Structure 1
Amino acid sequence: MLEIFICEDDEEQRKRLTQYVSDYIMIENLDMKVVISTAHSKDIINYLQQNDTTGLYFLDVDLQEEKSGIALGAEIRQYDTQGAIVFITTHPELTYLTFTYKVEAMDYITKDQFTDIQKRVIDCIDTAYHRYMQNKHNHRKLFQTKMGDKVISIEYNDILFFETSSQLHKIILHAHNRQVEFYGKLKALPEMDNRFYRCHNSYVVNKDNIAEIDIAKREIRMVNGQICYASSRFLKGLKDIVPK
């Protein structure tokens, strides 16, 4: 289900926007739901901290609190990198702030265009729902981690293996076309997906991307030719994956 979040401090406008969204979901029988409709940004952040979700967010830019709607959008991105964010405001000149805060917005709706707001909201719902269903049917699963102030997303299918870095508490992720170094614990990776197997004290391999295993040398050749290693202790768990 695609979850919808609305943050608007004007009660009348919030009720109207929530009604637009709820009515359209019901009429079109979409797999969507308004989870939170609130005047307070913390309600949305608290929810995201406790739930793993991909959502559609309608955010008032001019919230009557210290945090603006655009700052809220930037904070949402820390928890939901794939979500669709729509800003609603009476100040279209503030659109430049979405670039300052590095928030990728689906749309920017101006409140004074009263006859157009409902149509623009519906267009955003249609677009977000179409993308959600595409991703759902493609069964895309993303591994996400932070590098500095950036969130890096890599499809699980593209991951070859992980290895411990020479830098303390860091892990190197080897994908088909890139390497990413991040802070983490190697032992936690196999719990994330059953494709990941701890094959060595310093390596976790994606079993789906193994091309061959040399038992004598304890080498695992990946589908792109890269090599990672297995220890005798963990090798038995790989013997039946591919022909030796």
Structure 2
Amino acid sequence: MNIFILEDNFLQQTRIEDIVQKILADKKIDCKHFEVYGKPGQLLEDISERGRHQLFLLDIEIRDDEKRGLDVAREIRKLDSEATIAFVTTHSEFMPVSFEYLVSAVDFIDKELPESAFIKRIENVISFVNDSQGETVSEDSFVFTGPKAQIQVPFKDLLYIETSSISHKLILYSKRDILEFYGQLSDILEQEPRLFQCHRSFIVNPYNISSIDRENRVVKFQNGSSCIVSRLKIRSLMKVVERLHD
């Protein structure tokens, strides 16, 4: 699980951070990445993973901007359609407005609740995310779990994955975005057998291949992007794609 808190008031930062840490300890929940931010830009820059394991606890009013947290939630949702978002705020009057932002927040927690109720609401959100990780993932999702990253994207959107110029890092290309994360191609293939390694530096999703140029050893995808295929892999890849279209 990854937890991100956006709160610009130092006392509230400390309060929420202490509550979250105690919940994690009491419930023995493993949290790989836990950060507290006072500035929205810092939080958005640090989003490097995707999936239901990501929890964002956002204040709505940031530095006298009454709706800044709603804007941040909308940006998060663009970056990660699977993330869990909850608002922790004194502006409960903005609850109806939040629906207009289409961010699908799971809760709207009022900071002025009695302390026991406030803690319970945060605990419920954390438990919700933790339990979601344990559910069986639909075959319509591509999921990768490694020592330094956990990724989840719709399988139908995944085009291909290539090695990065940065050691031990990979780049995932989907129909909607590009995502860099730490991992090995061999680990990807072990966890997701529907993918095909067409080159030592590339893994492709055969379901999204639109054509294969055998002469130039290039595979093209439905969105117009392409990647190379090794001479030894071209025939096998063609057979895989042919079977999918039978």
TMscore range, shorter length: 0.5 to 0.7
Residue 114 of structure 1: how far off its partner (Å): 2.2
1:177 is aligned to none
Aligned positions of 1:144-183 closer than 5 A: 155-156=154-155, 158=156
Conserved 8 A contact 2:5-2:58: yes
Aligned positions of 1:205-216 closer than 5 A: 206-207=205-206
Query: SS of the residue aligned with 2:35?
Result: strand
Write the distance in 2 (CA, Å) between the matches of 1:33 and 1:206: 29
Residue 136 of structure 1: how far off its partner (Å): 6.3
Query: SS of the residue aligned with 1:109?
Result: strand
Shift in alpha-carbon separation, 1:126–1:229, aligned structure 2, 3 A: same
1:42 is aligned to 41
Residue 123 of structure 1: how far off its partner (Å): 0.4
Write the distance in 2 (CA, Å) between the matches of 1:183 and 1:16: 35
- State the superposition RMSD in angstroms: 3.9
Residue 238 of structure 1: how far off its partner (Å): 3.1
Conserved 8 A contact 2:158-2:175: no
Write the distance in 2 (CA, Å) between the matches of 1:84 and 1:46: 18
1:52 is aligned to 49
Conserved 8 A contact 2:50-2:153: no
Conserved 8 A contact 2:50-2:82: no
Q: Deviations over 1:148-201 (max 9, x none)?
A: xxxxx9732x57989xxxxxxxxxxxxxxxxx98799xxxxxx9x762577xxx
Conserved 8 A contact 1:88-1:110: yes
2:82 is aligned to 82
1:134 is aligned to 135
2:104 is aligned to 104
1:5 is aligned to 4
2:168 is aligned to none
Query: What TM-score comes out, normalization by structure 1 length?
Result: 0.61
2:19 is aligned to 20
Residue 90 of structure 1: how far off its partner (Å): 1.6
Give the number of the structure whose alpha-carbon radius of gyration is greater. 1
- The sequence identity of aligned pairs, in percent, is 22
Write the distance in 1 (CA, Å) between the matches of 2:41 and 2:87: 17
Write the distance in 1 (CA, Å) between the matches of 2:23 and 2:57: 15
Structure 1 alignment gaps of length 5 or more: 143-152, 163-179, 185-190, 199-203, 210-221
Shift in alpha-carbon separation, 1:104–1:182, aligned structure 2, 3 A: closer
Conserved 8 A contact 1:159-1:206: no
AA of the residue aligned to 1:130: D
Query: SS of the residue aligned with 1:35?
Result: strand
Shift in alpha-carbon separation, 1:109–1:77, aligned structure 2, 3 A: same
AA of the residue aligned to 2:36: S
AA of the residue aligned to 1:237: S
Conserved 8 A contact 2:8-2:38: yes
Write the distance in 1 (CA, Å) between the matches of 2:57 and 2:80: 14
Write the distance in 2 (CA, Å) between the matches of 1:40 and 1:154: 27
Write the distance in 2 (CA, Å) between the matches of 1:96 and 1:230: 50
Shift in alpha-carbon separation, 1:7–1:160, aligned structure 2, 3 A: closer
1:147 is aligned to none
Structure 2 alignment gaps of length 5 or more: 144-151, 161-173, 179-184, 190-194, 218-233
- The number of equivalent residue pairs is 184
Q: Deviations over 1:107-139 (max 9, x none)?
A: 001122123100000000000111123266979
